Protein backbone atom coordinates (compact mmCIF):
# COMPACT_ATOMS: atom_id res chain seq x y z
CA UNK A 1 0.00 0.00 0.00
CA UNK A 2 2.99 2.29 0.62
CA UNK A 3 3.61 2.47 -3.14
CA UNK A 4 0.24 4.16 -3.68
CA UNK A 5 1.41 7.23 -1.77
CA UNK A 6 4.36 9.48 -2.53
CA UNK A 7 4.27 11.23 0.85
CA UNK A 8 1.73 12.25 3.43
CA UNK A 9 1.79 16.03 3.34
CA UNK A 10 1.54 17.82 6.66
CA UNK A 11 1.47 21.49 7.67
CA UNK A 12 -0.41 23.79 5.29
CA UNK A 13 -0.46 21.29 2.41
CA UNK A 14 -1.85 18.65 4.78
CA UNK A 15 -4.51 21.08 5.98
CA UNK A 16 -5.43 21.76 2.35
CA UNK A 17 -5.78 18.05 1.68
CA UNK A 18 -7.95 17.68 4.77
CA UNK A 19 -10.21 20.48 3.50
CA UNK A 20 -10.31 18.86 0.05
CA UNK A 21 -11.28 15.53 1.61
CA UNK A 22 -14.01 17.20 3.68
CA UNK A 23 -15.40 19.08 0.67
CA UNK A 24 -15.32 16.06 -1.62
CA UNK A 25 -16.75 13.66 0.94
CA UNK A 26 -19.48 16.08 1.94
CA UNK A 27 -20.47 16.77 -1.67
CA UNK A 28 -20.55 13.07 -2.50
CA UNK A 29 -22.80 12.37 0.47
CA UNK A 30 -25.17 15.31 -0.06
CA UNK A 31 -25.60 14.78 -3.80
CA UNK A 32 -25.71 11.00 -3.38
CA UNK A 33 -28.54 11.24 -0.85
CA UNK A 34 -30.32 13.70 -3.13
CA UNK A 35 -29.96 11.30 -6.04
CA UNK A 36 -31.41 8.47 -3.97
CA UNK A 37 -34.40 10.59 -2.92
CA UNK A 38 -35.22 11.37 -6.56
CA UNK A 39 -36.07 7.73 -7.16
CA UNK A 40 -33.35 6.93 -9.67
CA UNK A 41 -33.05 3.67 -11.58
CA UNK A 42 -31.65 0.67 -9.69
CA UNK A 43 -28.27 1.08 -11.40
CA UNK A 44 -28.08 4.80 -10.60
CA UNK A 45 -29.14 4.09 -7.01
CA UNK A 46 -26.41 1.46 -6.66
CA UNK A 47 -23.84 3.92 -8.04
CA UNK A 48 -25.03 6.60 -5.61
CA UNK A 49 -24.66 4.14 -2.71
CA UNK A 50 -21.12 3.31 -3.88
CA UNK A 51 -20.38 7.04 -4.01
CA UNK A 52 -21.73 7.58 -0.49
CA UNK A 53 -19.74 4.65 0.91
CA UNK A 54 -16.59 5.94 -0.79
CA UNK A 55 -17.31 9.41 0.62
CA UNK A 56 -17.32 8.11 4.17
CA UNK A 57 -13.92 6.52 3.62
CA UNK A 58 -12.61 9.70 1.96
CA UNK A 59 -13.77 11.79 4.92
CA UNK A 60 -11.60 9.80 7.31
CA UNK A 61 -8.81 9.27 4.80
CA UNK A 62 -9.00 5.50 4.58
CA UNK A 63 -7.85 3.70 1.41
CA UNK A 64 -7.91 7.06 -0.37
CA UNK A 65 -6.39 6.05 -3.74
CA UNK A 66 -8.75 3.12 -4.17
CA UNK A 67 -11.96 4.78 -2.98
CA UNK A 68 -11.12 8.00 -4.84
CA UNK A 69 -10.94 6.09 -8.12
CA UNK A 70 -14.08 4.14 -7.22
CA UNK A 71 -16.03 7.34 -6.42
CA UNK A 72 -14.76 9.05 -9.58
CA UNK A 73 -15.77 6.09 -11.76
CA UNK A 74 -19.23 5.92 -10.16
CA UNK A 75 -19.81 9.65 -10.65
CA UNK A 76 -18.66 9.57 -14.28
CA UNK A 77 -21.03 6.67 -14.90
CA UNK A 78 -23.84 8.70 -13.31
CA UNK A 79 -22.91 11.81 -15.34
CA UNK A 80 -22.98 10.19 -18.78
CA UNK A 81 -26.80 9.91 -19.04
CA UNK A 82 -27.15 13.37 -17.50
CA UNK A 83 -25.09 14.89 -20.31
CA UNK A 84 -27.20 13.18 -22.94
CA UNK A 85 -30.33 14.56 -21.22
CA UNK A 86 -28.75 18.06 -21.13
CA UNK A 87 -29.17 18.20 -17.36
CA UNK A 88 -27.44 20.92 -15.36
CA UNK A 89 -26.61 18.33 -12.71
CA UNK A 90 -24.19 16.69 -15.10
CA UNK A 91 -21.53 19.35 -14.50
CA UNK A 92 -21.83 19.08 -10.70
CA UNK A 93 -21.56 15.30 -10.93
CA UNK A 94 -18.50 15.62 -13.16
CA UNK A 95 -16.95 18.10 -10.69
CA UNK A 96 -17.38 15.55 -7.91
CA UNK A 97 -15.70 12.91 -10.06
CA UNK A 98 -12.76 15.26 -10.71
CA UNK A 99 -12.37 16.05 -7.00
CA UNK A 100 -12.42 12.35 -6.10
CA UNK A 101 -9.87 11.56 -8.83
CA UNK A 102 -7.62 14.39 -7.63
CA UNK A 103 -7.66 12.96 -4.11
CA UNK A 104 -6.83 9.54 -5.48
CA UNK A 105 -3.79 10.99 -7.26
CA UNK A 106 -2.57 13.35 -4.53
CA UNK A 107 -3.27 11.24 -1.46
CA UNK A 108 -5.00 11.91 1.84
CA UNK A 109 -2.42 13.98 3.72
CA UNK A 110 -0.93 13.49 7.18
CA UNK A 111 -4.23 13.82 9.04
CA UNK A 112 -5.77 10.59 7.81
CA UNK A 113 -6.12 6.93 8.68
CA UNK A 114 -3.92 6.08 5.68
CA UNK A 115 -1.06 8.15 7.10
CA UNK A 116 -1.35 6.42 10.47
CA UNK A 117 -1.50 2.96 8.91
CA UNK A 118 0.85 3.25 5.94
CA UNK A 119 3.04 6.28 6.67
CA UNK A 120 6.69 6.10 7.43
CA UNK A 121 7.47 4.79 10.90
CA UNK A 122 10.11 6.39 13.08
CA UNK A 123 12.37 3.89 14.78
CA UNK A 124 13.82 5.00 18.09
CA UNK A 125 17.38 3.71 18.23
CA UNK A 126 18.26 5.46 21.48
CA UNK A 127 16.45 2.86 23.58
CA UNK A 128 14.49 5.40 25.61
Backbone angles phi, psi at 87, to 5 degrees: -90, 140
Q: What is the pTM of this model?
A: 0.83
- Which pLDDT tens digit goes with each residue over 34-44? 999 987 789 99
Q: What pLDDT score does 66 carry? A: 95
What is the rounded CA–CA span in Å between residue 45 and residue 38? 9
Backbone angles phi, psi at 122, to 5 degrees: -95, 125
- Which pLDDT tens digit goes with each residue over 83-113? 888 777 899 999 999 999 999 999 888 888 8
Q: What pLDDT score does 72 carry? A: 98
Amino acid sequence: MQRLFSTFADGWPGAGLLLLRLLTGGALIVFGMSGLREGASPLAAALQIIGIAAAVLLLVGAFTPVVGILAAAAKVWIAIPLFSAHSGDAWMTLAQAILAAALAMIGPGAWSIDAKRFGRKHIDLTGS
